[in-house]
Amino acid sequence: MARKLIVGNWKMNGSLAMNAELLEGIKAGLARVDCDLAICAPFPYLAQCQQALEGTGVALGAEDVSAHAVGAYTGQVSTRMLLDFDCKYVIVGHSERREYCNESDELVANKVQRALAGGLTPIVCVGESLKEKDAGQTEAVVSRQINTVLSVLEEREVCDIVVAYEPVWAIGTGKTPTPEMVKDVHALLRELMIRKNPDAAECVRILYGGSMKPSNAEEFLKMRDIDGGLIGGAALKASDFLKIAYLASR
Ligand code: PGA
């Protein structure tokens, strides 16, 4: 994949005023960006982001989506609602949702299916916890997570997802795996996808996420197997987010 993808995950941060400043800051620096850029924002701010990002080339995404199409699901948000705000992406199976909302591998797979059926590109998150890493289970965990998703997809649909490898112990902690460790996990993920669809060697972007910031982004982004980044904390500061996007543009 020649062109990298940098995605900001705002999580449960922001306000109308803070977002306006952040969006203006990002827009002011876009001329030098030569990678794909997206912002995944909290549901209440999708309208604000849609309006601010119109015509900029920066894609919009949500942080979650319902596994159901429509109906009596209080508090949930459907693919069709996200399309109303021109969302292109949706993060599915983020470790914070797996952990705090008890999302199972099966539910994550159902959400991926629903997102694809609704015309959205799911950014499927996988990654091991610290305990799992220390027990030498990284490969087993990410294989189980991605295989559950692949098991519900048609062969052609494999090319319609983005995968984000996010070691849980690296998220928001400032700790990062070495680029070599990430490269090995990305190679494994790609291999599992290729088994389902040989085109996955070329068509699927695998992002790294977990404490990526301007000071360490380059070492990750220069690796051939790392197709971009899913950025949390550093996406909340326009200059940091832009710096990462510039590093991905080389
Ligand atoms: P972080 O978050 O960059 O703050 O570690 C990444 C993520 O959770 O997507």
pLDDT digits (tens, 9 = 90+) for 222-231: 998 899 999 9
Partnered with residue 87 across adjacent β-strands are 60
pTM equals 0.98
Atom 7, ligand 1: residue with shortest CA distance:
232
Give me the pLDDT at residue 1, please.
60
Is the pLDDT at 4 greater than 80? The verdict is yes
The CB of 171 under 6 Å from ligand 1? The reply is yes
pLDDT tens per residue across span 116-147: 999 999 999 999 999 999 999 999 999 999 99
The CB of 232 under 6 Å from ligand 1? The reply is yes
Pairing, β 5-9 against β 87-92: unpaired
pLDDT tens per residue across span 70-103: 999 999 999 999 999 999 999 999 999 999 999 9
Q: What is the atom index within ligand 1 of the atom nearest the CA of 171?
A: 5
With a CB cutoff of 8 Å and minimum separation 6, the contacts of 202 are 1
The CB of 9 under 6 Å from ligand 1? The reply is yes
Task: Report the percent of the chain where pLDDT is more than 90.
Answer: 97
210 alpha carbon to ligand 1 midpoint, in Å? 5
How does residue 2 score in pLDDT terms, banded at 50, 70 and 90?
A: confident
Q: Which of 11, 130, 221 to mutate to test the pocket of ligand 1 (most atoms within 8 A of CB)?
A: 11
Q: What is the atom index within ligand 1 of the atom nearest the CA of 230?
A: 9
The CB of 167 under 6 Å from ligand 1? The reply is no
Closest to 142 measured CA to CA, from 165, 121, 123, 110: 165
Which residues are catalytic, by number? 94, 166
Rounded to whole angstroms, what are the CA distances from 87 to 69, 120, 239? 16, 7, 24
The CB of 7 under 6 Å from ligand 1? The reply is no
Rounded to whole angstroms, what are the CA distances from 220 to 40, 108, 118, 247? 21, 26, 32, 10
152 alpha carbon to ligand 1 midpoint, in Å? 27
Cα–Cα dist 79/83, whole Å = 6
Cα–Cα dist 37/185, whole Å = 23
* E strand spans, 13-85: 36-41, 59-62
The CB of 210 under 6 Å from ligand 1? The reply is yes
Give me the pLDDT at residue 198, please.
95
pLDDT tens per residue across span 29-71: 999 999 999 999 999 999 999 999 999 999 999 999 999 999 9
- Average pLDDT along the chain: 97
Q: What is the atom index within ligand 1 of the atom nearest the CA of 164?
A: 9
Give me the pLDDT at residue 250, please.
79
What is the token pair recorded at 47? 């309208």
38 alpha carbon to ligand 1 midpoint, in Å? 14
How does residue 191 score in pLDDT terms, banded at 50, 70 and 90?
A: very high
The CB of 230 under 6 Å from ligand 1? The reply is yes
Cα–Cα dist 92/108, whole Å = 6
Place of tokens 């400043």: 21
Closest to 89 measured CA to CA, from 190, 162, 14: 162
Q: Which of 212, 240, 241, 243 to mutate to test the pocket of ligand 1 (most atoms within 8 A of CB)?
A: 212
Is the pLDDT at 248 greater than 90? The verdict is yes
